[in-house]
Structure 1
Amino acid sequence: MSTTAVNTPTREYRGRFAPSPSGPLHFGSLIAAVGSFLDAKANQGKWLVRIEDIDTTRVVSGASDDILHTLEAYGLHWDESVIYQTQRHEQYQAIVNELISQNLVYACHCTRKEIKAIGGIYQGHCRDKSHGLSDSALRLTQQFATSHYHDLIQGEVRIDSQLAKEDYLIKRSDGLFAYQLVVVVDDIAQGITHVVRGADLLEPTARQLSLFKQLNKPAPDYAHLPLAVAKPGFKLSKQNYAPAIAKSDPKPALFDAFRFLGLKPENTLLSLNIEQMLAWAVETYRLEHIPKVQEIQVSENPNSPFCDFVTIEK
């Protein structure tokens, strides 16, 4: 998927799909699942599934199992055991302790409201206040600010320089580990080489790249898919009550996912079974055919079982 320099050993491709169990899979999350699966299989790689349940305040009972059953119904079978973040607290705390021992972590008592009032970017107010680390939010002193990087779909990505320099949270005041920390620790532990996911994560990727550098570990290659949106700036999501995709009749949604990803399937593909449809998609898939946009509007077609797509240029 990426050009490899002469004499540079290549890493075995290891990709992943990492849903949060805050509800059932919808079409937007299906795009991320199918896109990451096809990219892995087209590159003769492994495709892993990780349940990102670290934020227990958002977890919906039964959603994890429902997500896994939905993936199976769509023929998206993972290659190794599923990892749950809530079972990895010791590993996350070990990394936090390592960063503390390097004098890179400090306690912060600023609230979201206070930070929002000064423009939304934290300015290091608590860095020199020596608050106790217990019962406090913990921030990482930014050592490797990343303001731009190359994305395999979106091209050159640039991030606000002030945001790139921000000391970001690695543990919340309620004791929950922050997403920015756990996603990097998990990707390192699972040996992830390629991350294919939605373009809503373009900005957080810069922070994750900085943390890979801080931990002196190789970062994956990133490819951010267009977001499926109901209207510009309004992505399909569980929070926005996007409807769950059907487990009983997966072919239409899978067919639409192929269309969304630029595969241009013919209607005759629907006469095949799910495994045959996916085999065709793996053979046909090309990363360069994915639309190089951040959003594609999805709407139901009243005259067809399939969706209408409108590319949104930014």
Structure 2
Amino acid sequence: MPAYRGRFAPSPTGPLHAGSLLAALGSWLLARQAGGQWLVRIEDVDPPREVAGAAQAQLATLAAFGLHPDGGVDYQSERGHLYLAALERLLADGLAFECHCSRSELAAVGGIHRRCVAAQPRPDPAIRLRVPDGCEIAFDDAVHGRIVQRVDTEVGDFVLRRSDGLWAYQLAVVVDDAEQGITDVVRGADLLDSTPRQRLLQRALGLPTPRYAHLPLLLGADGRKLSKSEAALPVSLDDPLATLRLLWACLGQAPLADERTRTTAEFLREAVAAFHLERVPTRAPPVSAAAHNANANSRA
């Protein structure tokens, strides 16, 4: 197994937008720069939110931008047996428990689960991780530095399997990263506060802990996260090179010479050699401003 193995793991809830592609590009660049492998995993554990054909469209977009995974694509919907085995271990060890609380009952106590307050048992309880009192998780993120979270008071006992029987993201991602030998998780900063929960789960299951780097979120001109902004249109495949230049600027990197990056393949080759993780900002400029800067740099 290579010393470095990264991944990109989109949910098939729609086409890739620029923010998703930035995470894909950043994780691909770091994997290629390290001489490691880059995997793609489709996180399709929430069927009610899936859009028909979205996974295939996302893979086609990655290919159009020259971001090709090493090996086949994995689908979480085919990995339920792995999640079940992990859940059964946690239950057997007393680290997970059935929760019969309804949403309204949880809301009445502030939404953070520390004990079951259900008036009566449910036929379809959720399964939660038992978070110890005083549980503090700290780690060093390659972009954001030291992160500390009191999981018991800020998050509480979190869900591993939902009351509708669907697997929760936190359990699925931890099991998958370990089973696939992921050494480095490079993703968007919207998942930064999920990392302490995942590290706690890794500890409970005796799994290795990857290194983490959370890339800046792209914001629309309205200041909202791009995926929730009116600017979150699907990434156009008409001019991949222009989009790559935009994302490169959002990653805080020095502009690449036009004469050496006339094609997507040339751009990616130069980008692998020139990428510096320490230049990545914790916050990216709004997409409209980044686009202006990228265009100005290309004319310089």
TM-score, length of structure 2 as denominator length: 0.89
Which runs of at least 4 in structure 1 moved beyond 4 Å after TM superposition?
A: 129-132, 238-241, 300-308
The CA distance in 1 between the partners of 2:25 and 2:214, in whole Å, is 13
> Quick check: 2:251–2:284 contact (8 Å CA) kept in 1?
no
User: For 1:139, which of 103, 128, 146 is the aligned residue?
Assistant: 128
Contact 2:9/2:42, CA 8 A, preserved across alignment: yes
Q: CA 1:238 to 1:84, structure 2 compared with 1: closer, same or farther past 3 Å?
A: farther
Q: Residues 147-196 of structure 1: CA distance to partner in whole angstroms, max 9, x if unpaired?
A: 32211110011224544572110000000010000000000110000001
Q: Does the C-alpha gap of structure 1 residues 116 and 131 become closer, same or farther in structure 2, counting only changes over 3 Å?
A: closer
Aligned partners of 1:108 and 1:148: how far apart in 2?
Answer: 27
What does residue range 173-252 of structure 1 map to in structure 2 within 5 Å? 173-230=163-220, 234-237=224-227, 242-252=232-242
Letter aligned with residue 224 of structure 2:
F
User: Alpha-carbon deviations, 1:16-48, whole Å to 9, x = none?
Assistant: 000000000111001100000001111111000
The amino acid that maps onto 2:195 is T
Whether 2:77 is the aligned partner of 1:86: answer: yes
Deviation digits for residues 249-294 of structure 1 (CA, Å, limit 9, x no counterpart)? 2111111111111222246158521111100000001111111x24
Name 2:98's counterpart in structure 1: 107
More displaced 10-residue stretch of structure 1: 86-95 or 164-173 = 164-173
SS at match of 2:186: strand
1:296–1:147: structure 2 CA closer, same or farther, 3 Å change rule?
A: farther
Aligned equivalent of 1:19: 10
In the comparison of the two structures, how many residue pairs are matched? Answer: 296
2:141 is matched with which residue: 134, 151, 169? 151
Paired position in structure 1 for 2:286: 297
CA distance in 1, matches of 2:94, 2:152: 22
Question: Does the CA contact (< 8 Å) of 1:199 and 1:294 recur in 2?
Answer: no
- Aligned equivalents of 1:115 and 1:239: distance in 2? 30
Letter in 2 for 1:242: A
Gaps of 5+ in 2: none
In structure 1, runs of 5+ residues without a counterpart are: 1-9, 309-314
Helix, strand or coil at the partner of 1:159: strand
Aligned-partner Cα distance in 1 for 2:230–2:44: 19
Q: Which has the higher helix share?
A: 2
Q: Distance in 2 between matches of 1:25 and 1:145?
A: 36
Q: Is contact 1:106–1:130 with CA below 8 Å preserved after alignment?
A: no
Secondary structure at the residue paired with 2:286?
strand
CA contact (8 A) 2:261 2:270 kept: no
Tell me if the contact between 2:185 and 2:210 (Cα under 8 Å) persists in the aligned partners.
yes
CA apart distance, 1:65? 0.3
Residue 271 and residue 210 in structure 1: after superposition, are their counterparts in 2 closer, same or farther (change >3 A)?
closer
8 Å CA contact 2:222, 2:229 repeated in 1 = no
- One-letter identity of the residue aligned with 1:139: R
Q: 1-side partners of 2:292 and 2:276: how far apart? A: 30
**Would you say 1:57 and 2:70 are equivalent positions?**
no
Residue 244 (structure 1) shift: 0.7
Describe the shift of the 1:75–1:216 C-alpha distance in structure 2 as closer, same or farther (beyond 3 A): same
- Please list the CA deviations of residues 121-164 of structure 1 after superposition, one character each: whole Å capped at 9, or x if unmatched: 2222259x9957x6211111125934322111100112245445
Q: Is the 8 A contact 2:253 2:279 kept in 1?
A: yes
Could you say what secondary structure the match of 2:220 adopts? strand
Name the % identity: 43
* 1-structure distance, mates of 2:173, 2:166: 13
Instruction: Assess, with a 3 A threshold, how the Cα gap between structure 1 residues 220 and 55 changes in structure 2: closer, same or farther.
Output: same
Residue number in structure 1 paired with 2:68: 77
Contact 2:151–2:197 (CA under 8 A) maintained in structure 1: no
Q: 2:48 is paired with a residue of what secondary structure?
A: coil
1-side partners of 2:237 and 2:15: how far apart? 11
Offset, 1:109:
2.2
The answer to whether the 8 Å contact 2:216/2:283 transfers is yes
Q: Is residue 18–residue 52 contact of structure 1 (8 Å, CA) maintained in 2?
A: yes
Task: Summarize the Cα distance change of 1:155–1:94 in structure 2 as closer, same or farther, 3 Å threshold.
Answer: same
Aligned-partner Cα distance in 2 for 1:202–1:229: 16
Q: Cα gap change, 1:217/1:271 in structure 2, threshold over 3 Å: closer, same or farther?
A: closer
* Counterpart selection for 2:114 from 105, 123, 126: 123
Q: Aligned residue for 1:3?
A: none
Say if 2:15 and 2:54, in contact at 8 Å, map to a contact too.
yes
CA contact (8 A) 1:269 1:277 kept: no
AA aligned opposite 1:230: G
